[in-house]
Amino acid sequence: MERRNKIILVFSFLFVSTFLFSQDERLIIGRTTGKLTINSNLKIRTFGFANSLSGQVTLPGSYIDVKVGDSVNIDFWNISQGNPVSLYCKEIEFLQRNKEKEIMMKKEPVHHMEHGFYSFQAQKAGTYLYYSPENYPFNLQAGMFGVVVIRPNENDVAAVKPSSEVLWCSYEIDTKWHTDAIMGTEYDYTNKPIILPIYKPNYFFINGETVLKNKGLQLVINKKELVLLRLVNAGLYLHEIVFPANTKLQLVYGNETNVKVFSDGYKVQLQPGECLELLISLENVGEKESIMYHFIDPISNKEYYKATVPVFY
* Domain boundaries along the sequence of the chain: 25-151, 164-310
> Whole-angstrom Cα distance, residue 54 to residue 277?
32
Tell me what pLDDT residue 14 has.
Answer: 38
- State the pTM of this model: 0.90
55: Cβ contacts below 8 Å, ≥ 6 apart:
29
**Which has the closest alpha carbon to 179: 203, 193, 196, 198?**
196
Sheet with 126-131: strands ordered across? 61-67, 145-151, 126-131
CATH class of the domain comprising 25-151: mainly beta
> Whole-angstrom Cα distance, residue 14 to residue 73?
19
Alpha helix ranges (H) inside the chain: 2-20, 138-142, 180-183
Do 25-151 and 164-310 share a fold?
Answer: yes
For 185, the 3-state DSSP assignment is coil
Q: What is the pLDDT of residues 255-307, one digit of tens each?
A: 999 999 988 889 999 999 999 999 999 999 999 999 999 999 999 999 999 99
Give the HSE-up count for residue 114: Cα atoms under 13 Å, Cβ half-sphere: 16
> Whole-angstrom Cα distance, residue 62 to residue 79?
15
Tell me what pLDDT residue 296 has.
Answer: 98
In this structure, which CATH number among 3.20.20.10, 3.40.50.720, 2.60.40.420, 3.20.20.80 belongs to the domain 164-310?
Answer: 2.60.40.420
Q: Do you find a cis peptide bond into 162, omega within 30 degrees of 0?
A: no
User: Residue 23 above 90 pLDDT?
Assistant: no
Q: What is the pLDDT of residues 167-217, one digit of tens each?
A: 999 999 999 999 998 998 776 666 677 789 999 999 999 999 999 999 999
239 within 8 A of 276, measured Cβ to Cβ = no
Tell me what pLDDT residue 146 has.
Answer: 98
> What rounded mean pLDDT belongs to the chain?
91
